[in-house]
Amino acid sequence: MDKYAVVGNPVSHSLSPRIHRMFAEETDQDISYEALQLDPNNFVTEILRLQASGYLGVNVTVPFKQQAWKLAKKLSPRAQDAGAVNTLIFQPLALIAGDNTDGIGLSRDLIVNHQILIEHRKILILGAGGAVRGVLGPLLAKRPGLLTIANRTVAKAEQLAEDFFHIWDVQTCSYEELGRDKYDLIINGTSAGLHNELPPVPDSVLGVNSVCYDMMYNLNQPTTFVNWAIDRGALRAYDGLGMLVEQAAESFYIWRGVRPHTELVIQGLRQD
């Protein structure tokens, strides 16, 4: 049986083992997949130990994505842009390759699962942390009309705009500067929802046709941001469970060469 895992700290809450086991069952792949909590001070040693003990790859979650990026000897272009790795591939001759599937996960959930258009649309992203950095490249590749990043610490948004300037002219602002324009798609990439808080975004960014997307997810109730969007009359609002499943599917495909179906997995997680 081929061995895989998700590594993080904490990691016991992770849905990845359930998701990958569902993928394995559906595609008839003989794999094991566990959640392993690693010591933050020993990330590299622990990863090399997993590789030496026969694991073929790991998913990497908080707080190790940047360390995984530094460790990988070979990076995919999207991981290179993201500055973070969520998928490590242990290759022959002890080579470790790194990829980032968060961005493709988000763009598949938006475009394929929810039929949300990005091309020529006005997009507002709230937050400028690791997750937003990871998804910017794939979003910009879909050629939005305008993409604005608002962040509490504006300098972080400006740094992102600078780092992606070779792809697109990303606009940046503070929350106080928002309100003049309405946006077609508003993506919450902040971690405010982890404390049931909202980023201080004014209601006036919403138009009658605005769609909202929260990268955070809850299995059994709408997230704070989804509730905000619905209460303020957004046309549609989604949480990030689909993104989670889609990024996992892309990792599974990288490791196994087989693309699992995601729809039933997303439905199954919600029903559970």
- 156 binding ligand NDP? (CB under 6 A): yes
* Two structure tokens written together for 242: 């689909």
Looking at residue 200, its amino acid is P
CB of 120 to ligand NDP, least distance (A): 25
- 244 binding ligand NDP? (CB under 6 A): yes
Q: Which is nearer to ligand NDP, 153 or 209 (CB)?
A: 153
- 79 binding ligand NDP? (CB under 6 A): no
Return all residues near 89 (Cβ < 8 A) that are at least 6 apart: 56, 57, 96, 97, 98, 99, 254, 255
Return all residues near 180 (Cβ < 8 A) that are at least 6 apart: none
H or E element at residue 122 = strand 122-126
- 267 binding ligand NDP? (CB under 6 A): no
- 18 binding ligand NDP? (CB under 6 A): no
Q: Which is nearer to ligand NDP, 193 or 260 (CB)?
A: 193
- 243 binding ligand NDP? (CB under 6 A): yes
* Two structure tokens written together for 91: 């290759």
CB of 198 to ligand NDP, least distance (A): 7
- 193 binding ligand NDP? (CB under 6 A): yes
Q: Which is nearer to ligand NDP, 184 or 214 (CB)?
A: 214
Q: Which is nearer to ligand NDP, 51 or 68 (CB)?
A: 68
Q: Which is nearer to ligand NDP, 51 or 252 (CB)?
A: 252
- 222 binding ligand NDP? (CB under 6 A): no
Looking at residue 217, its amino acid is Y
Question: Hey, CA dihedral for 223, 17, 137, 96, is it positive or negative?
Answer: positive
- Find the binder of ligand NDP among 58, 128, 173, 237 (CB under 6 A): 128
Question: Phi and psi of 129, rounded to 5°?
Answer: -90, -160
- 130 binding ligand NDP? (CB under 6 A): yes
Tell me the C-alpha distance between 4 and 51, whole Å. 10
CB of 224 to ligand NDP, least distance (A): 10
Tell me the C-alpha distance between 146 and 181, whole Å. 11
- 216 binding ligand NDP? (CB under 6 A): yes
- 269 binding ligand NDP? (CB under 6 A): no
Residues 206, 182 contacting (CB under 8 angstroms): yes
